Amino acid sequence: MKHLLPPPPSGNTSRRSALRKLSFGALAGSAAATAGWPLLLRAAPAAANSPNPSAGSAAERGALPRLITVGGGITEVVYVLGAQDQLVGTDTTSLYPAAALSTPKVGYMRQLSAEGLLSLRPDAVIAGSDAGPPVVLDQLRSAGVRVELVVSDHSWAEVERKVAAVGRASGREAAARELQARLDARWQAVTSRVRAAKGPGPRVLFVLSHSGSPTVAGEQTAADAMIRFAGGRNVMSGFKGYRPMTAEAMAAAAPDVILTTTQGIEALGGEAKFWQRPELALTPVFQRRASPGALVHLDALELIGFGPRLPDVVERVHERLRPA
């Protein structure tokens, strides 16, 4: 179908290329799918749990439901639960684990096509609440496809909702409950460690610079939530969403740390090129740019995807915001 991207070519694909150009690498397979996960998140056997009797046409034909996921964090849950054999398509933000790169792609999460989605004959589509357009989701429902929408509010509850939604849609609810119990224990340990840190957290500026002019993150963004979870203070307050990075804003914000994505650093040509932005020269962090913890960057999906890796990511950001 014209709305689907072609099958992936052979060979490895860099994460930068996957994010910016949406090219794919033929890296499928159960071993490749789980090799990068922490032990806590290693996938359960693919046969775990029987199909949900209420799964509609899939249950009638005695098969596990065929799934399409829209949102990188949701796709990660599918692999952690060992349900990747049920995955027939993903959106272009689904870049991890490596095997997800070789799944048929249904386009960007906010620009979905009913024709492209239905061509993959899914039993269920699991997506974030910002997926759309809404008319496409209505067309899927009219065609008998189960649509699971997960509210995105950049909270730990969002991760819980993703795990539960994938569990229901895939027929693996027991495995999902077991995974959530492990994740909850890990989350409690990490957040307790962050709260135990002494003194006020550093003043943090999040910069998004994948393409075009850099922007900074204000309130009610995934970046703002990550900064707070990791024990920092977002210097950009008083507005919601993202705004252009201006010299005046940088001077007023006076950040101690800059948080950004690895893809953004690569898009600009490396850390040295990043610091050449004239707006940054007006900030305190510019004077200590060679010091550990001045510039913190992680993979974009890790940092703001709010998937099952969130406890580990929060711990890593916290350690980098407060280097020993």
Give the residue from 188, 207, 226 where a domain finishes.
188
* Domain containing residue 86: CATH number: 3.40.50.1980
Judge if 35 and 132 occupy the same domain: yes
5 lies in some domain: no
Can you tell me the distance from the alpha carbon of 38 to that of 41, in angstroms, rounded to the nearest whole number? 5
pLDDT at 40: 65
pLDDT at 199: 86
Amino acid, single-letter form, for residue 192: S
Can you tell me the distance from the alpha carbon of 149 to that of 137, in angstroms, rounded to the nearest whole number? 10
Residue pLDDT tens, the chain, 324 long = 333 333 333 333 334 444 443 322 222 233 344 445 666 665 544 433 333 434 445 654 458 999 999 999 999 999 999 999 999 999 999 999 999 999 999 999 999 999 999 999 999 999 999 999 999 999 999 999 999 999 999 999 999 999 999 999 999 999 999 999 999 999 999 999 999 998 889 999 999 988 778 899 999 999 999 999 999 999 998 899 999 988 888 888 899 999 999 999 999 899 999 999 888 888 899 998 988 889 999 999 999 999 999 999 999 999 999 876
Judge if 177 and 233 occupy the same domain: no
Question: For 290-300, b where at least 16 C-beta lie within 10 A, e where not — what string?
Answer: eeebbbbbbbb
Judge if 107 and 68 occupy the same domain: yes
Q: Is 290 helix (H, G, I), strand (E, B) or coil?
A: coil
Can you tell me the distance from the alpha carbon of 31 to that of 42, in angstroms, rounded to the nearest whole number? 10
Can you tell me the distance from the alpha carbon of 148 to that of 74, in angstroms, rounded to the nearest whole number? 11
Judge if 168 and 207 occupy the same domain: no
Can you tell me the distance from the alpha carbon of 76 to that of 309, in angstroms, rounded to the nearest whole number? 9
8 lies in some domain: no
Residue 69 sits at φ, ψ, to 5 deg, of -115, 140
48 lies in some domain: yes
9 lies in some domain: no
Judge if 201 and 152 occupy the same domain: no
Give the residue from 188, 222, 253 where a domain finishes.
188
Q: Quote the pTM value.
A: 0.82
132 lies in some domain: yes
pLDDT at 57: 54
Judge if 315 and 245 occupy the same domain: yes
Can you tell me the distance from the alpha carbon of 248 to that of 254, in angstroms, rounded to the nearest whole number? 10
35 lies in some domain: yes
pLDDT at 98: 95
Give the residue from 188, 221, 239 where a domain finishes.
188
Q: Is 177 helix (H, G, I), strand (E, B) or coil?
A: helix
CB atoms inside a 10 Å sphere around CB 102 = 20
The token pair at 232 is: 């920092």
253 lies in some domain: yes
What distance lies between CA 198 and its chain's CA centroid? Answer: 30
pLDDT at 268: 87
pLDDT at 6: 31
Judge if 183 and 207 occupy the same domain: no
Number of domains in the chain: 2
Judge if 184 and 230 occupy the same domain: no
Nearest to 77 by CA among 150, 146, 176, 149: 176
Residue 272 sits at φ, ψ, to 5 deg, of -60, -40
pLDDT at 292: 85
Judge if 121 and 38 occupy the same domain: yes
pLDDT at 180: 98
- Domain range enclosing 304: 197-321
Judge if 233 and 161 occupy the same domain: no
pLDDT at 62: 57
